[in-house]
Amino acid sequence: MSKYVFGIDLGTTYSCIAYVDDRGIAQIIKNSDGNTTTPSVVAFDGKTITVGEAAKEEAVLKPNETVSLVKSKMGKTDTVIKYNGKNISPEEVSSYILKKIANDASEQLSEPVKDVVITCPAYFGTAERMATKKAGEIAGLNVLEIISEPTAAALDYGCAETHDDKTILVYDLGGGTFDVTIMRITSDRIEVICSDGDHDLGGKNWDALLMRYILKEFEEKNGSVELDASSQQDLRLKVEKLKKQLSSKPQASSMIDINGKRQVMKLNRDEFDSITNTLLSQTLNKTEEAIKVARSKGYDQIDEILLVGGSTRMPQVKNALSEKYGEDKIKVFDPDEAVAKGAAIHAVNVYVKNQKALEDKTFISSERKNDLNPNDYEEDLKVDERSMSVGGAQREIIMATTKSFAVKVTHEDKTEECVNMIIKNEPMKEGFIEVSDEFYTLFRNQATVNIQIYENDYMDKKFDVDEEFFLGNAILELPKNLPAGSPIQITMKLSGEGILEVTGLDKVENNKVNVKMETKGVMSDEKFEEVKEKVKGMTVL
């Protein structure tokens, strides 16, 4: 048994793992290369799987054997790559990333990594969250909970340690996804007010625009060129390096070599900002939409804006938000590591709560630890054999629904529409939300009711049917000789992890059907066991 539990930030482009040490401080654990983050890239070679920097270097050179950006495929498809004639799922690919960082952490601490909290974007729906949890279980981990990235970041930031009530906005721009979440922080709770985001907007999009610009400039000076795999990989790595250089200095340059043609390409920060301004505007629009939703719920004032995610290191982000909302509100803090550290803090709280062994002790956030003398707190934070009694001041975390859930209704004139029962951004005050509504049979002697559920982002009560949003269904058997218009009660219960349970009840004879939604894109239990057994036998480097 390990002394610790862990928090894992399973990122689109980079992942990392953290734990709470014996002093009660959340710490990132370095990987086998000595880095705090590991590229979320997986390369296949027989029974050997390579994860991280080495795999990233092969991403373009061996596209048929390498997977990047797998997070964007979670819960949306059952195949991300075909290798050796077999389809490989997003859950399996993600499990290799999780296994790699867990193995590295275990070697660093000389402790097994077993109990974990894994983070996901706030806007992830049922399918994506289920896929993330399955990935962890395939990797051999005990997944205590799936928690949203902005909530984890807020935990590490230490906002909840003050007794001053405040409303914060978490602007999370990572390598492949963008999240904006607004939370209310008080002395005893963190309440998510609303979330929005774009699963396909992140630092990779800045790279793509910059790569297109550099290639165009190169061709204007050297003539048209054909990019082979090697040149494409080299250009992509140099473009990423240019972007990072421009985050710390006003101008940068790089030697571009394509098919024997060479050119020093120079770029200043203003040019970079101009090239990518449309992308930044998209994040600002999402931010403003979230603020409008918060205002509609009575939260008129944003007290702080917390910048999370490696891509917030680009000065254009802070400058734009400062200009729009005020520089004094912007807090840039530990953008690459805050999510994993917050997940580690939450993992301890979840474990302790499950063990019913809470103690009245408080975590020291990363924000405060630099201001304290270790002698002031180390003696007060003694731990038991698993470091679980650190526990922390237990603040209730009230999540909000990240998706709406509707049932399809057919009217007497045969027209159809979807009726939302659970609405996006509703509070889940008990850790779940449960809603019941009454519907009616359409025909006399109707034998069954097909309860069809649609997961969507609409906040209206009704909307037109769109099969793209279909989540799953349940068949309710009805008693004989029912008249038309007989009452049917439908209940939806959504857990904090985003798992939806649907119950249909015939109110005449109390026949009932109850199902947990089998969402499209998530592997079956049979497939899960098969992949889990397969991954056990794979060597992950």
Give the CA-trace dihedral at 125, 131, 132, 137, to 10 degrees: 150
Bigger pLDDT: 451 or 386?
Answer: 451
CB atoms within 10 A of CB 430: 9
Across the range 380-401, mean pLDDT stands at: 52
Chain segment 497-531, per-residue pLDDT in tens: 777 899 999 998 888 888 776 555 567 788 889 99
CB atoms within 10 A of CB 251: 13
Q: Which CATH class is domain 401-510?
A: mainly beta
383 CB-near residues (< 8 Å, 6+ apart): 22, 24, 389, 390
Give the helix, strand, coil percentages of the chain, each rounded to 5: 35, 30, 35
Q: Are strands 261-268 and 251-258 parallel, antiparallel or unpaired?
A: antiparallel
Chain segment 43-55, per-residue pLDDT in tens: 998 888 999 999 9
Across the range 537-541, mean pLDDT stands at: 87
Q: Are strands 81-83 and 512-516 parallel, antiparallel or unpaired?
A: unpaired
Across the range 354-381, mean pLDDT stands at: 47
* 476 token code pair: 């309710």
Strand segments (E) across 61-200 = 66-67, 81-83, 86-88, 115-120, 142-148, 166-173, 178-185, 189-198
Tell me: pLDDT of 362 over 70.
no
CB atoms within 10 A of CB 516: 15
Measured distance between the N- and C-terminal CA atoms of the chain, rounded to whole angstroms? 24
* 17 token code pair: 């793992």
For the chain, give the number of residues: 541
Give me the pLDDT at residue 156, please.
Answer: 86
Cβ atoms 39, 13 nearer than 8 A: yes
Give me the pLDDT at residue 268, please.
Answer: 94
Chain segment 202-225, per-residue pLDDT in tens: 999 999 999 999 999 999 888 888
Under DSSP, the state recorded for 329 is G
Q: Please state, in angstroms and as integers, the Cα–Cα distance from residue 409 to each residue in 318, 424, 460, 515, following that order.
A: 46, 20, 15, 19
Give me the pLDDT at residue 215, please.
Answer: 92
Give me the pLDDT at residue 370, please.
Answer: 54
Bigger pLDDT: 382 or 126?
Answer: 126
Q: Specify the range with the lowest mean pLDDT, choosing from 149-158, 450-459, 473-482.
A: 149-158
Give me the pLDDT at residue 336, please.
Answer: 87
Chain segment 165-177, per-residue pLDDT in tens: 899 999 999 988 8
Q: Please state, in angstroms and as integers, the Cα–Cα distance from residue 234 to each residue in 61, 84, 257, 485, following that order.
A: 10, 27, 8, 67
Across the range 115-128, mean pLDDT stands at: 88
Rounded CA-CA distance 262/222 in Å is: 8
Decide yes or no: CATH 2.40.240.20 for domain 6-157+334-396+528-540: no
Q: Please state, in angstroms and as integers, the Cα–Cα distance from residue 111 to each residue in 4, 102, 233, 303, 363, following that order.
A: 8, 10, 37, 41, 22
Give this prediction's pTM: 0.84
Spatial CA neighbour of 162 closest among 142, 137, 190, 181: 190
Decide yes or no: CATH 3.90.640.10 for domain 203-275: yes
* 406 token code pair: 């509707």
Helix residue ranges per DSSP H, 276-355? 277-296, 315-325, 338-355
Give me the pLDDT at residue 387, please.
Answer: 36
Give me the pLDDT at residue 388, please.
Answer: 35
Share of the chain above pLDDT 90, in %: 56
- Per-domain residue ranges of the chain: 6-157+334-396+528-540, 203-275, 401-510
Give me the pLDDT at residue 122, please.
Answer: 83
Give me the pLDDT at residue 397, please.
Answer: 82
Across the range 272-281, mean pLDDT stands at: 96
Give me the pLDDT at residue 472, please.
Answer: 86
Cβ atoms 451, 438 nearer than 8 A: no
Mean pLDDT of the chain: 86
Under DSSP, the state recorded for 294 is H
b/e per residue, 434-469, with b = 16+ CB within 10 A? eeeeebebeeeeeeebebbbbbbebeeeebebeeeb
Structural Rg of the chain based on CA atoms: 25
Chain segment 473-506, per-residue pLDDT in tens: 889 999 988 999 999 999 999 987 777 899 999 9
DSSP per-residue codes, 336-382: TTHHHHHHHHHHHHHHHHHHT---S---B-HHHHTTS-HHHHTTT--
CB atoms within 10 A of CB 344: 32
Cβ atoms 308, 330 nearer than 8 A: no
Chain segment 70-114, per-residue pLDDT in tens: 998 898 888 899 888 889 999 999 999 999 999 999 999 999 999
Cβ atoms 150, 173 nearer than 8 A: no
Give me the pLDDT at residue 367, please.
Answer: 53
